[in-house]
Every structure is written in C-alpha cells, then in structure tokens.
C-alpha cells in the first residue's frame, strides 16, 4: 500500500482529475487543503472525497510557499497516516498540479521490489548549491501571508552538513516513523522553522545527518522542467500538449506541473495513456 498526501490550494476540478488518475483501492489518500483558500474549496474537496472510503482530509491550516508551514503540513500528514495503523510501506507527497505518468500498478510493482528505500533528490548544499545558503543563514519568519527574511546571519546546526534537493519525494515507512518520533529530529524542526524554502532541505538534511540507517536513492521519480522566472532563479514550467511525446517517454512516475486553464489537452493525453479504471 502507498500512502499519498496531496496538497491543494486551488483548481478543484484539476485536483479531481489527478485523484481519479491516482486512485487505487489498495492505497490510502490524505488531502490537505490550504486554509487560506477558503471554506468553499474545503467543502468541495470533502464532498468529493466522501465517495472514497480510502481517502480523507487532513485538518486544514494556512500554508505559504517558502515557509515552514509546508513542512508542518507534510509532517502532520505523515504522522496522521502512521496513527491510522494502515499497512502502507511508502509515503508519496504530491501537489494538486502534479499528474502521474505511470499507472498505479506500475508504481506499486516497482515499490514492492524496493521496500525500505527512500527516493529523494539530495546534494551537499555547500558544495553544489552554495547560492542557496542564505536560505538557512538568514533568520526567516512566516507572518500571516508574508515571509520576512531578516538579513542577519545565524550559526548553523553544530556538527550538521546542510543538504538540499526537491520538495517532492517517496519515503519509506521506516524513515517516516523516524522523522515523526525520534527526539534527535526535534532540533532540525526548531531550526528549519526559521529558514526560507525549508521544504527543499529539511528532509534531506535529516536523512543525511541523523542515526537513521536506510537506503537513499538520489532520484525522486519526478519529471520537472525548471525554468528561470523573475527573482526566483527556477520555477517548474507548465507542461502543454506540445510536451506529450517527452512526457510519455519519461521514466518519471509523476510530472510537475500542469495548469488546466493554460492547457487541459495534455491532461487528457496522459489520462488516455494511463487508462484508469472507471470509477
């Protein structure tokens, strides 16, 4: 069994298409709706999920890109899934603007042959992404709908090497239990609460700097086309129908990202390729 956490903050119809494409009775689906999106979206998603016994909503809280609130949602989601006592072996996080490239049968078969492994992008931040070190050096506060970055450097965690990668990952149950319950993880939570874009470094740094013993595969099984946009160096480009051949040939399990309002045709192409069962 796979335990999915899907983060939603807009586009309910696109979320429903994603959910149907992901759905399998052997999996479990936990959905977090950004509280800032309003009660209307929460109600619509809740009503939709009521038709699926293996899906539920995580308590909605405010989430903000670049803030620790995203890590908080993921940690709450992992802990909630563990508390349910379900016999899942892997945790996968997704955005509502992602979409699967492979069938659930394909993904399940692969993961069944790789029990205990963690699929997560991870590199030494100081050596390979030194341009991002200000994210962890400067004190950051999440305040309402804003991220306040105070340009005053603070010492990093003693004896720890910072790592960085991507927000999206496939984690083993063993690591999920470790990050949820081991006391040694608490200092990482306290520190990264006041960093910028911690969702790209928190899990990587914990998995590489603690007593956790497990296999790490430097591959998150995602297909993303990073492009420069504005003051943020890289953002994922919205895929369109022109990318169909590229996506269908990809070895990734999921692709990011899509916007139905920009191009819904690509989602239809991917849906046809997956041939999901009729719900």
Q: What are the sequence ranges of the domains in the chain?
A: 2-127+166-183+208-274
Kindly indicate whether the domain formed by 2-127+166-183+208-274 is annotated with CATH number 2.10.260. Answer: no
| pLDDT tens, N- to C-terminus, the chain (279 residues) | 899 999 999 999 999 999 999 999 999 999 999 998 999 999 999 999 999 999 999 999 999 999 999 999 999 999 999 998 788 999 999 999 999 999 999 999 999 999 999 999 999 999 999 999 999 999 999 887 889 888 888 999 999 999 999 999 999 999 999 999 999 999 999 999 999 999 999 999 999 999 999 999 999 999 999 888 766 567 889 999 999 999 999 999 999 999 998 998 999 999 999 974 444
Task: Identify how many contiguous H helices and E strands the chain contains and give both numbers.
Answer: 11, 16
Question: Looking at residue 182, what DSSP letter applies?
Answer: -
Instruction: Evaluate whether 212 touches 180 at the Cβ level (below 8 Å).
Output: no
Whole-number pLDDT of residue 125: 96
What string of H, E and C letters represents the secondary structure of 232-256?
EEEEECCCCHHHHHHHHHCCCCEEE
Instruction: Evaluate whether 121 touches 166 at the Cβ level (below 8 Å).
Output: yes
Residues 6+ apart with CB under 8 A from 239: 225, 247, 255, 257, 258, 263, 266
What is d(CA 215, CA 232) in angstroms, rounded to the nearest whole number?
Answer: 32
């Amino acid at each position: 069994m796979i335990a999915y956490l899907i983060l939603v903050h807009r586009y309910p119809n696109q979320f429903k298409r994603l959910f149907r494409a992901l759905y399998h009775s052997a999996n479990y689906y936990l959905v977090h709706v950004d509280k800032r999106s309003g009660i209307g979206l929460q109600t619509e998603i809740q009503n939709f999920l009521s038709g699926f016994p293996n899906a539920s909503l995580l308590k909605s809280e405010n989430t903000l890109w670049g803030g620790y609130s995203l890590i908080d949602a993921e940690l709450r989601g992992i802990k909630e899934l563990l508390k349910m006592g379900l016999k899942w072996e892997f945790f996968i996080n997704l955005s509502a603007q992602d979409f699967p490239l492979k069938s659930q049968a394909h993904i399940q078969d692969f993961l069944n042959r790789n029990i205990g492994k963690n699929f997560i992008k991870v590199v030494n931040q100081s050596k390979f992404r030194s341009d991002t070190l200000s994210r962890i050096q400067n004190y950051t506060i999440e305040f309402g709908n804003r991220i306040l970055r105070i340009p005053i450097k603070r010492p990093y965690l003693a004896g720890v090497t910072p790592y960085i990668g991507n927000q999206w990952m496939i984690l083993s149950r063993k690591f999920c239990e470790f990050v949820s319950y081991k006391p040694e993880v608490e200092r990482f939570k306290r520190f990264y609460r006041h960093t910028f874009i911690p969702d790209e470094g928190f899990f990587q740094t914990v998995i590489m700097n603690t007593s956790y013993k497990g296999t790490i595969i430097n591959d998150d099984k995602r297909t993303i086309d990073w492009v420069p946009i504005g003051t943020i160096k890289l953002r994922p480009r919205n895929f369109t129908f022109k990318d169909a051949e590229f996506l269908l040939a990809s070895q990734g399990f999921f692709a990011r990202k899509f916007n139905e309002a920009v191009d819904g045709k690509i989602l239809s192409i991917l849906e046809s390729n997956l041939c999901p069962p009729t719900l």
